[in-house]
Amino acid sequence: MGKDIELVVYGAEVLCPSCVNLPSSKEQYEWLQAAIGRKFGEDVVTYKYIDIFNPPEDDQHKKFAERVVEEDMFYPVVLIDEEIVGEGNPKLKTVYKALQERGLEPQL
């Protein structure tokens, strides 16, 4: 398959006000990478982390980062191929399901 699937995590260094007891967005991003790598293998997903308060200049990521802030979404917000699959405290089961719907198979 090889890197056709993109997982983007929108988050911030400061914790979401409603997510005080959860790991930071960056920690959850790294945790998702490790968990997905163990289940599906390395190099099958492309990962990006976007700081919602300092997004890159490209329109797509900048607009969604603004949306996260304006709509007071719980972050991190996890997208797979532009579909929101997790918000605040992403669930691995939901992320895995979205990846399998896109053709990834768990490794044995």
pTM for the structure as a whole: 0.91
Do the domain assignments include residue 70?
yes
Do the domain assignments include residue 51?
yes
Do the domain assignments include residue 107?
no
Do the domain assignments include residue 106?
no
**What's the CATH number where 81 sits?**
3.40.30.30
Residue-number span of the structural domain to which 66 is assigned: 5-101
- The pLDDT of residue 22 is 80
- The pLDDT of residue 1 is 44
- Asked if residue 76 lies in contact with residue 25, where contact means CB atoms within 8 angstroms, the answer is yes
Calculate mean pLDDT across residues 76-103.
Answer: 95
Do the domain assignments include residue 84?
yes
Percent of the chain with pLDDT over 70: 93
Number of domains in the chain: 1
Task: Write the pLDDT tens digit of every residue in 16-38.
Answer: 666 667 888 999 999 999 999 99
Do the domain assignments include residue 64?
yes
